[in-house]
Amino acid sequence: MSKLNIAIIGAGIGGMSAALGLAQSGFKVSVFEQAPELSEVGAGLTITPNATKGLNYLNLGEGIKSVGMAHTNQGVRHYETGEVIVPLERGEKMMQKYGAYQFQAHRADVHNLFIGAMNAYPDSQVYVNHKLTGLVERNGHVELTFNDKDAYEFDFVIGADGNRSTVRSIIIGDDDPEFAGYVAWRGLVPTAELSEEDFDECGSSAFIAPGRVFARYLVRNGELYNYAAFLVTDEWAEEGWAIPSDIEIVSEIFSDYNNQVKNIIAATPKDELFKWGIFARAPSDNWSSEYSTLLGDAAHPLEPFMGQGASMAIEDGVVISRIIADSGSQKEIVDRYQKARIERAHFVTENSKKAGMRFTGKTPDDYSKEDHKNEEELGLFYYDPSTVEI
Ligand SMILES: Cc1cc2nc3c(=O)[nH]c(=O)nc-3n(C[C@H](O)[C@H](O)[C@H](O)COP(=O)(O)OP(=O)(O)OC[C@H]3O[C@@H](n4cnc5c(N)ncnc54)[C@H](O)[C@@H]3O)c2cc1C
């Protein structure tokens, strides 16, 4: 089969992983992004060893080392006392046990690695200001319409357009994601504003309380604390990932937390605190139509309690790029991709949900090492998207 002409909808971490994998295999790829420029929200993300192996495959191994922090100590901690209930060793242990580090980084820094790497493939392009509005499959091709006017034709389409995916609604037609029962706030706090008591050897920590979690880690060589603060709640009416919020509200909700957490919240730059609702879907056994498929949040939005959203999107991107490079037809691509990825995605979706319930469901005094069955304990770090059977 001659090389397929491929379109990717969405230039997030997942879409860019697939684009880079395909470009490196000699494909001409067109990535369409609705935003007017290529940028990422101000927040951190975690790349666990399973995804670092994917970045190595994409030749971004040195890049992630230069922008990410590989904290040695991570922990599940008591919200009041700060006591480490479940110590988790990361750092060198990850390299020794899984052959790759875990990194935490600023999202924009990771995104920039992808954008820089794509520049080496001038045949492939990322088009901004292109919001997908239509997708029609006919006669072995897919016709895409953007901004309700421009139309282009491709052999195969990858929908990497996030949790509220337009591609998904057209090719699978299922309902909108449902509110998962959490509101979250995120902030990036310059550490120069903080005092000594606001740091300790646990570079990455999740402080748990009944109905709440405050997760924080250092990024950008320790210049910034990234945090995400979660509250269990019944109601959420607003749309979006970047709704401005007030520091006073978050300070009040976390007022019984330890001083470190309270100081970090209080030091959030004004106008830079955002909230969003966590939305989820029941796992689906089909992500594809004849000539189109999905990846990342479009295929399997995750509740964020195992830090696997970006990592799973990278895994998807690497696996689908390998499969496309090795397949003889669109049908073969779809069949092999779903076989390779759906079972793992279901497992991570279900266990991310359970992790949130475990963190928020009881008092931390009752949370034990035995209760803790998260990303490493479940064996997720052994996976290597660059070598897994396809
Ligand atoms: C604040 C925040 C913090 C997070 N922290 C973590 C973390 O610590 N660890 C972790 O693993 N995960 C984290 N996640 C989740 C993680 O970022 C996502 O799971 C991951 O980025 C999925 O990537 P994606 O490429 O599938 O989707 P997205 O990153 O959502 O990218 C989708 C892209 O598609 C574009 N798009 C959407 N619709 C259209 C359209 N119609 N036409 C064209 N383009 C379109 C969007 O503009 C966007 O650029 C976080 C998410 C948020 C919001």
Identify the CATH number of the domain in which residue 204 sits: 3.30.9.30
Q: Is the CB of 19 under 6 A from ligand 1?
A: no
Question: From CA 210, how far away is CA 182, in angstroms rounded?
Answer: 13
Domain termination site, one of 280, 310, 328? 280
Residue 184 β-bridge partners: 230, 276
Whole-number pLDDT of residue 108 = 94
**Last residue within a domain, chosen from 217, 248, 280:** 280
Domain boundary among 280, 297, 316: 280
* Residue 315: per-residue pLDDT: 98
Asked whether residue 1 is assigned to any structural domain, the reply reads no
Confirm or reject: Cβ of 166 under 6 Å from ligand 1: yes
Whether 153 and 107 map to the same domain: the answer is: yes
Q: Does residue 89 fall inside a structural domain?
A: no
With the most atoms of ligand 1 within 8 angstroms of its CB, the residue from 31, 33, 74 to mutate is 33
CA 111 to chain CA centroid, nearest Å: 12
* CA pair distance 309, 386, nearest whole angstrom: 18
Burial class (CB in 10 A: 0-12, 13-18, 19+), 155: middle
Task: Answer yes or no: is the C-beta of 13 below 6 A from any ligand 1 atom.
Answer: yes
Do both 306 and 274 map to the same domain?
A: no
**Both 248 and 301 in a single domain?**
no
User: Do residue 209 and residue 225 come from a single domain?
Assistant: yes
With a 6 Å cutoff on the Cβ, whether 304 touches ligand 1 is: yes
- Residues 163 and 206 reside in one and the same domain: no
Let me know if residue 324 belongs to a domain: yes
- In short, whether 110's Cβ falls inside 6 Å of ligand 1 is no
With respect to residue 80, please indicate whether it lies within any of the assigned structural domains. no
Among protein residues, the one with the nearest Cα to ligand 1's atom 29 is: 12
Residue nearest atom 17 of ligand 1, based on CA coordinates: 310
- Burial (0-12, 13-18, 19+ Cβ within 10 Å), 138: exposed
Going from the Cα of 14 to the center of ligand 1, the distance in angstroms, rounded, reads: 8
* Ligand 1 lined by 204 (C-beta under 6 Å): no
Q: How far apart are CA 76 and CA 78, in angstroms?
A: 7
**Cα 58 from chain centre:** 17
Q: How far is the CA of 10 from the centre of ligand 1 (A)?
A: 9
CA distance 311 to 46: 7
- At residue 37, the pLDDT reads 86
Same domain, 182 and 226: yes
* Together in a domain, 42 and 191: no
Please tell me whether residues 208 and 318 are part of one structural domain.
Answer: no
Provide the CATH number for the domain around residue 293.
Answer: 3.50.50.60
DSSP labels, 21-76: HHHHTT--EEEE-SSSS----S-EEEE-HHHHHHHHHTT-HHHHHHH-B--SEEEE
Alpha helices in 107-155 (DSSP H): 107-118
Whether 235 and 275 share a structural domain: yes
Whether residue 388 lies inside any domain: the answer is: no
Q: How far apart are the first and last CA of the chain?
A: 18
| CB of residue 128 inside a 6 A radius of ligand 1 | no
The residue whose C-alpha atom lies closest to atom 7 belonging to ligand 1 is 45
Q: What is the pLDDT of residue 362?
A: 85
pLDDT at res. 176: 83
Q: How far is the CA of 12 from the centre of ligand 1 (A)?
A: 6
Cα 202 to Cα 23, 218, 247, 328, 344, distances in angstroms: 39, 10, 24, 49, 29
Q: How far apart are CA 257 and CA 195, in angstroms?
A: 17
Domain that holds residue 219: 178-280
Element (H, E) at 251: helix 247-253
Intervals of the chain under pLDDT 50: none
Residues in the chain: 390
Domain membership flag for residue 76: no
pLDDT at position 80? 97
The reply to whether 72 falls in a domain is no
pLDDT at 1: 62
In angstroms, what is the span from residue 132 Cα to ligand 1's centroid? 16
- Are residues 145 and 242 both part of a single domain? no
At residue 148, the pLDDT reads: 86
Contacts of 312 (CB under 8 A, 6+ apart): 51, 296, 300, 302, 344, 345, 348
Q: Token pair for residue 258? A: 């330890």
Question: Count of domains in the chain?
Answer: 2
Question: Does 74 reside within a domain?
Answer: no
Q: What is the mean pLDDT of the chain?
A: 95
**Nearest residue (CA) to ligand 1, atom 35:** 10
Q: Are residues 189 and 291 in the same domain?
A: no
- CB of 268 shorter than 6 A to ligand 1: no
Contact 304, 184 (CB under 8 A): yes
Give the number of other Cβ atoms within 10 Å of residue 373's Cβ. Answer: 13
